[in-house]
Amino acid sequence: MIPAIKPIDVRDRLIFALDVPTRAEAIEWIDRLGDAVTFYKIGMELLTSGEYFQVLADLAGRGKKIFVDLKFFDVPATVASAVKGLTRYPVYFCTIHGNDGMMRAAAQVKGDIKLLAVTALTSLDQHDLDDLGFQCDAEQLVLSRAKAALAAGCDGVVSSGLEVPALRREVDHALITVCPGIRPVGNSDDQKRTLDVAQAFAAGADYIVVGRPIRHATDPRAAALAIRQTISDLLSSGA
């Protein structure tokens, strides 16, 4: 059964990862997808173009919701200043790394932005976590950071859908869950801890972030609409 869910417009539950290096390419994708996508994530690849905030304005001008995914990580005062600066823009979500001091400082100045703590990147598996010196598995790490995020005043977390059932058990629906790394069965790219669309929402995800499966589709707009229809069917049936 699909778990109890937040009252989120089903159209907004799909977030498209606008991972392109230039504004021109971003506009091409926004035009190509049209009304099939209402929510966009813009990350670090676009930042180095010098056109990041122009694209943000382009999205806002078309009535799109905006997820600034820059995963801020620095001393708490610097992270807080960056988040406070973002409040000048029409940003819905932004990400920071799940460090206690950074999260507390950012939460105090986030304004209307919904602050998401990054728990463990979906490109990391247990071998990677071991190499980084974490003496726990991915689920334990995600739960620890999620509980700290909730205590610090964050609105949600970014995590693999694999950890969402444990999040729901431990923190219920107090946190928004945004799940990247959504892939078809048989995925072979750099995302390691992945689920497909149905599995993610069955686990309790609030939003999913999809990039390459839409960008690489023969008909990207149709692919986005198909994902939206899958989400709608799942949530309306409760199956």
- Active centre residues (catalytic): 71
Residue type, 115: L
Residue with structure tokens 């504004």?
23
How many Cα atoms occupy the beta-carbon half-sphere of 232 within 13 Å? 10
Tokens matching residue 219: 């008909």
CB atoms near residue 52 (< 10 Å): 19
Q: Which of 181, 141, 176, 178 is nearest to 155 (CA)?
A: 176
Q: Which of 20, 176, 97 is nearest to 40 (CA)?
A: 20
What secondary structure does DSSP assign to 184-214, as a single string?
-TT--SS--S-B-HHHHHHHT-SEEEE-HHH
Q: Rg of the Cα trace of the chain?
A: 17
Q: Which of 120, 116, 144, 145 is nearest to 132 (CA)?
A: 120
Q: Which of 177, 176, 180 is nearest to 211 (CA)?
A: 180
